[in-house]
Amino acid sequence: MTEGDEVAVLGVRVRLGDGATVDDVRALRAWLERDEPLEQLLSAGKLRIEERTSTDGPKGRLGPDIELVLQLLGDLATVVALTEYTNRAVKTWKNNRRRLHGGEPESEIRPLGSDGE
């Protein structure tokens, strides 16, 4: 690899929409960190979960301006597998939140671009 070559960052982005709070984002992060396949990747140092300020959401949207970014740090898992694990964990978290608090925020899960954003 030569200087100036971009390294693709593999991972997924999770953004909660209308009806979500910053506390919801943080609760979802804690949930993801305890989800078995994701927890194994985290423990092995193959995954990082970060909270980031969202800069490309639609103006005036009601959800929090924080998103979760799950970045693969090794080649142990594929983006397809990470997306599947994340989708399953987010769905379970939303079902649990609905039972406890009523309502459920919208969510968007999509792969990161080649620049990590």
CA proximity to 19, closest of 108, 107, 86, 89: 107
Residue 37 φ/ψ, nearest 5 degrees:
-65, -35
Q: What per-residue confidence (pLDDT) applies to 64?
A: 66
The fraction of the chain above a pLDDT of 90, given in percent, is: 41
- Strands annotated E in 1-117: 11-16, 47-53, 66-72, 107-111
Is 97 in contact with 76 (CB distance < 8 Å)?
A: no
2-39 pLDDT tens trace: 444 444 568 999 998 877 888 999 999 999 999 999 99
